[in-house]
């Protein structure tokens, strides 16, 4: 029996195409400044915390809700970590544990009100946004806390040791090349496994030319990205951290019962409850997890800035939410992927970076980002109506 062929999924590939297109537009407008090794490195550094928040936010979005308190939680966790290091001279691991504990506590706080008392997540997280920002100002006494030690800053601004190879006047980091080769092999193997699995169970598969084209585009992006890093200072530590988180949460959402329960809840909460899923438990751990990831993002941000400030994390919730919707998550919940959210985060990052390079004001940047978010959600709703 011949295998079924799937139609081209515009939503699946659209964001990658958009990512390339936006980068190309700013490449032309900036005269190639956005493709320099230093700027590619800056893209990673500047968007590491957004990727971390987008990963956690996707789980909230899959339930059909959002978390408006992540920016304030990032600020508070970063502030607590900095206070323990600067004022109390605590070891880094203690300060980091404090940040994670504070983030988790806030997530548990939200989870209890949402899951146990049934208060809408919008209200609970809006309250958390106000409470968290107020506590940050109180903890820091409305002042910047810093400077932080170099070992702390390395988390957000440091690099892995390099294996420099010199060929004439050209020098590059061999470790980046090794990572690119490994990533290429994993991408190809994952795609082959996916195709074989679909064929085994009689699911529709994409035509071979689409698979080859998709692999070619993704692998080219990986090599371009790693080549630029190889000719700069190597692999940022924050890149290793976010890659690990992406891998862990991609596995959770796609391969575990807990992940499937989130999709089921977002697709139809009543049906999920009737099928035996403890929806309260799912809500609880999703928001507790978001708080924990806010703690990680708070550490990364304070390390990147070498200090903690009362206004840190301002507007981060908007970037994280936008990243999920731009990356293909459905507004009603139940649809979305970790990879899509990460792509959405980098779309936002490239927009921010490109507009800054060509000298657009922050006010105009907000207008553009708002239009992009509105366009992504509109596209999602229109495509659903056409299918219906």
Q: Give the Cα separation of 16 and 224 in Å (integer).
A: 15
Residue pointed to by tokens 């989870």: 111
Burial class (CB in 10 A: 0-12, 13-18, 19+), 177: middle
d(CA 216, CA 32): 23
3-state helix, strand, coil in the chain (%, to 5): 75, 5, 20
- Go through the domains of the chain in sequence order and give each one's CATH number: 10-157+236-381 (1.10.3470), 159-235 (no CATH)
- Residue 380: is its pLDDT beyond 80? no
Would you give the distance in Å from CA 315 to the centre of its chain?
15
What span, in angstroms and rounded, lies between the C-alpha atoms of 63 and 261? Answer: 10
pLDDT at position 166: 86
Q: Tell me the per-residue pLDDT of 236-279, one tens digit each, with 9 for 90 and over.
A: 999 999 999 999 999 999 999 999 999 999 999 999 999 999 99
Confidence of residue 2 (pLDDT cuts 50, 70, 90): very low
CA distance 157 to 305: 9
| Beta carbons of 301 and 72 less than 8 angstroms apart | no
The whole-number average pLDDT for the span 112-135 is 96
Q: What are 385's two structure tokens?
A: 């109506």
In angstroms, the CA 238 to CA 46 distance is 10
Q: For residues 372 and 378, what is the distance between their CA atoms, to the nearest angstrom?
A: 10
CA distance 126 to 119: 12
What does the pLDDT average to over 343-351? 91
What's the whole-model pTM score? 0.92
Distance CA 20, CA 230 (A): 21
Place of tokens 């988180």: 245
- Specify the length of the chain in residues: 388
Q: In sequence order, what are the beta bridge partners of 165?
A: 172
3-state class of 43 per DSSP? Answer: helix
Is residue 64 left, alpha or beta, with left meaning phi > 0 and alpha meaning psi from -120 to 50?
left
Question: What token pair was written down for 42?
Answer: 């800056």
What digits encode the pLDDT tens for the residues 302-330? 999 999 999 999 989 999 999 999 888 88
Residues with Cβ within 8 Å of 11's Cβ and at least 6 positions away in sequence, in order, are 328, 380, 383
Which residue(s) pair with 170 in the sheet? 167
């Amino acid at each position: 029996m011949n295998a079924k062929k799937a139609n081209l999924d515009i939503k699946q590939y659209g964001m990658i195409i958009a990512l390339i297109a936006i980068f190309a537009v700013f490449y032309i407008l900036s005269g190639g400044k956005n493709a320099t090794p230093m700027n590619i490195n800056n893209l990673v550094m500047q968007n590491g915390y957004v990727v971390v928040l987008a990963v956690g936010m996707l789980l909230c979005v899959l339930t059909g809700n959002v978390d408006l308190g992540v920016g304030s939680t990032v600020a508070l966790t970063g502030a607590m970590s900095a206070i323990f290091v600067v004022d109390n001279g605590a070891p880094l691991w203690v300060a980091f544990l404090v940040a994670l504990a504070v983030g988790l506590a806030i997530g548990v706080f939200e989870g209890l009100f949402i899951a146990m008392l049934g208060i809408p997540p919008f209200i609970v997280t809006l309250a958390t946004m106000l409470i968290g920002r107020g506590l940050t100002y109180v903890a820091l006494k409305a002042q910047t806390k810093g400077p932080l030690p170099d070992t702390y800053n390395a988390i957000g601004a440091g690099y892995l040791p390099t294996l420099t190879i010199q060929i004439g006047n050209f020098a590059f980091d061999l470790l980046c090349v090794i990572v690119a080769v490994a990533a290429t092999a994993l991408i190809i193997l994952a795609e082959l496994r996916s195709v074989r699995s679909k064929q085994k169970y009689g699911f529709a598969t994409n035509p071979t030319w689409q698979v080859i084209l998709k692999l070619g585009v993704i692998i080219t992006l990986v090599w371009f990205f790693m080549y630029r890093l190889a000719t700069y200072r190597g692999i940022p530590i924050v890149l290793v951290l976010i890659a690990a988180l992406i891998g862990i949460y991609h596995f959770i959402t796609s391969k575990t019962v807990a992940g499937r329960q989130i999709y089921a809840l977002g697709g139809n909460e009543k049906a999920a409850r009737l099928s035996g899923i403890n929806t309260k438990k799912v809500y609880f751990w999703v928001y507790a997890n978001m708080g924990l990831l806010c703690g990680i993002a708070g550490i990364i941000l304070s390390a990147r800035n070498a200090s903690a400030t009362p206004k840190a994390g301002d507007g981060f919730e908007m970037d994280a939410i936008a990243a999920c919707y731009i990356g293909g998550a459905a507004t009603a919940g139940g649809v979305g992927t970790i990879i899509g959210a990460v792509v959405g985060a980098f779309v936002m990052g490239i927009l921010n970076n490109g507009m800054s390079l060509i000298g657009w004001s922050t006010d105009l940047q907000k207008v553009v980002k708002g239009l992009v978010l509105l366009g992504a959600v509109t596209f999602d709703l229109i495509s659903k109506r056409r299918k219906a």
